[in-house]
């Protein structure tokens, strides 16, 4: 039996204090499957060090040929949005529902592209991944399909873009890493919040030393979406409602975590070390399910015996260099929407939500509107100066989706390192299963795997400069 080292020390302390009557299984990690720390160690193995995908410059692709799989909410919005970017070709549209594939095709009917439709069965994506006329598979399916599709695509020579979500297990996270390294194919993580305007501003401010040493960060996804969770038409086979019965933890960690990790150079100079997580009880979801059952027993009867995740989850993370991060997740309380983007340093701080975002360089108050304008003039990144207005026009969560898509396409066309690679995808989504484990073990601490296998000490920070000559054009 291999124990998490912190849990072993706790066990030793408890036994030394005379609490030997407690059952051993309540104090220890019984199997590797339950212990992500051991899973990490067993996944590394022996032999040559795997290829490091962080900073990797894949061969240039003059025209990025894209196939989309999953054409529900996110996927159907991505197709017409990416149609505004030149240097691409939309060659494939895949969804198990033929009407969704056809609707996506209709959304770009005035484009020069003639994508093949893959639809009707759960395995249609495989034919698209095997196609010779596609370079990138853009995955926007239910979360449980992200890793199987991404791994299959990378094993067939495709780069992948993976929408945000929640990993099913730590083992799945390692499957992503291993497939990307083995095939030297990018796994581009589509965390759009890293490209929101205030988050990009604070990133550059942090890079330029405005906040001093970063001490603490906070992020959240607090968004009441229970109506859509119980809406049969909103999501295929109620897949996201089903996610809420798979254990209580942070179900959707990356919107808040991604921008903070980018600022703290996580995986690129620092690493996430361990976390503790706590969830409230469920005060709303079970009651809503019972109401839904009364109206539609055939659909919601299968949920009657299920235990739903708690309303609020709070997870606290410590980094190797001593910084802390607080993450929160709540989709079922009567809270005003907030993602919380808080950066706290030795010389200043930033906070977004309520809007607009605020900056402080002392503990006395936020800087004035005039000072804020000067900060924006000084620290706004070139990508925002170049594409900000176009992004707002095209849309996608206020424009950040467009900036994100333009950026990864531009990187592939110019053979540049991507901003958020497979190690970020694995790390950020691993918070899901890790937080569930901690909650299930009375908020015990759990080590966070190092998916870079030590390369975080050498990896360069994300570089959002766009000073190359072959900038990808956009359509007006």
pLDDT in tens, 137-147: 999 999 999 99
What is the arithmetic mean of pLDDT over 21-50?
Answer: 44
Q: What average pLDDT does range 224-251 have in this prediction?
A: 94
pLDDT of residue 476: 72
CATH classification code of 194-395+422-457: 3.30.360.10
Mean residue pLDDT across the chain: 91
Locate the domains of the chain by residue range.
Answer: 64-191, 194-395+422-457
Q: Is the pLDDT of residue 133 over 50?
A: yes
Q: Which of 12-16, 35-39, 175-179, 226-230 has the highest mean pLDDT?
A: 175-179
**pLDDT value at residue 24:** 29
**pLDDT in the model for residue 328:** 98
Mind listing the pLDDT tens digit for each residue in 359-417? 999 999 999 999 999 999 999 999 999 999 999 999 999 999 999 999 999 999 999 99
Q: Strand locations in 323-430, DSSP E? A: 324-330, 341-345, 349-352, 358-360
436 contacts: CB under 8 Å, gap ≥ 6: 246, 247, 248, 249, 277
What are 269-314's pLDDT values in tens digits? 999 999 999 999 999 999 999 999 999 999 999 898 899 999 999 9
Helix (H, G, I), strand (E, B) or coil at 414: helix
- Mean pLDDT for 159-179 is 96
Strand, helix or coil at 418? coil
Q: What is the pLDDT of residue 13?
A: 37
pLDDT for position 49: 79
Task: Name which of 413, 404, 411 is nearest 88 in CA terms.
Answer: 413
CA–CA separation, 152 vs 171, rounded Å?
16
E-strand spans in 336-451? 341-345, 349-352, 358-360, 446-447
The pLDDT of residue 3 is: 46
Of 32-41, 429-438, 462-471, the least confident: 32-41
Residue 356: cis peptide before it, omega within 30 degrees of 0: yes
Q: How far apart are CA 396 and CA 73, in angstroms?
A: 12
**pLDDT for 450 beyond 70:** yes
What's the pLDDT score for residue 125?
97
Judged against a pLDDT cut of 60, whether residue 462 lies above it is answered with yes
Task: Read off the pLDDT of each residue in 109-125 and give the average, rounded to a whole number.
Answer: 96
Class of domain 64-191: alpha beta
Q: Is residue 8's pLDDT more than 50?
A: no
Identify whether the C-beta of residue 262 lies closer than 8 Å to the C-beta of residue 421.
no
Q: Is the pLDDT of residue 29 over 50?
A: no
- The confidence score (pLDDT) of residue 47 equals 53
């Amino acid at each position: 039996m291999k124990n998490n080292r912190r849990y072993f020390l706790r066990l030793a302390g408890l036994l030394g204090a005379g609490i030997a009557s407690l059952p051993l299984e309540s104090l220890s990690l019984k199997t590797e499957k339950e212990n992500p720390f051991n899973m990490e160690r067993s996944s590394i193995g022996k032999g040559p060090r795997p290829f490091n995908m962080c900073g990797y410059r894949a061969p240039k692709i003059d025209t990025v040929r894209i196939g989309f799989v999953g054409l529900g909410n996110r996927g159907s919005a991505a197709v017409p949005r990416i149609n505004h970017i030149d240097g691409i070709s939309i060659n494939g549209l895949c969804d198990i529902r033929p009407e969704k594939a056809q609707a996506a095709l209709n959304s770009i009917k005035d484009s020069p592209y003639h994508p093949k439709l893959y639809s009707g069965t759960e395995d249609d994506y495989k034919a698209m991944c095997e196609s010779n006329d596609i370079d990138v598979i853009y995955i926007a399916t239910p979360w449980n399909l992200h890793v199987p599709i991404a791994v299959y695509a990378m094993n067939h020579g495709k780069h992948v873009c993976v929408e945000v979500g929640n990993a099913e297990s730590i083992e799945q996270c390692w499957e992503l890493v291993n497939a990307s390294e083995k095939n030297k194919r990018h796994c581009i993580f589509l965390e759009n919040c890293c490209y929101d305007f205030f988050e990009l501003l604070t990133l550059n401010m942090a890079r330029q030393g405005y906040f001093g040493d970063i001490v603490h960060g906070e992020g959240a996804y607090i968004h009441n979406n229970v109506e859509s969770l119980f809406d049969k038409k909103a999501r295929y086979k109620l897949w996201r409602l089903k996610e809420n019965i798979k254990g209580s933890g942070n179900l959707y960690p990356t919107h808040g975590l991604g921008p903070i990790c980018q600022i703290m150079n996580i995986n690129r100079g620092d690493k996430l070390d361990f976390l503790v997580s706590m969830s409230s009880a469920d005060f709303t979801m079970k009651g809503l399910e019972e109401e839904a059952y009364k109206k539609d027993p055939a659909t919601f009867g299968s949920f009657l015996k299920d235990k739903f995740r708690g309303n609020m989850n709070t997870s606290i993370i410590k980094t190797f260099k001593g910084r802390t991060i607080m993450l929160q997740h709540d989709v079922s309380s009567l809270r005003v929407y907030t993602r919380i983007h808080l950066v706290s340093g030795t010389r200043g701080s930033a906070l977004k939500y309520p809007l607009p975002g605020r900056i402080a360089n002392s503990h006395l108050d936020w800087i004035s509107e005039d000072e804020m304008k000067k900060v924006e003039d000084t620290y706004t990144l070139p990508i925002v100066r170049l594409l900000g207005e176009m992004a707002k026009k095209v849309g996608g969560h206020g424009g950040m989706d467009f900036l994100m898509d333009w950026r990864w396409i531009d990187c592939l066309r110019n053979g540049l390192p991507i901003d958020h690679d497979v190690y970020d995808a694995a790390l950020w989504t691993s918070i899901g299963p890790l937080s569930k484990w901690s909650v299930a073990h009375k908020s015990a601490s759990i080590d966070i795997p190092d998916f870079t296998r030590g390369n975080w000490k050498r990896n360069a920070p994300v570089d959002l400069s766009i000073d190359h000559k072959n900038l990808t054009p956009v359509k007006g």
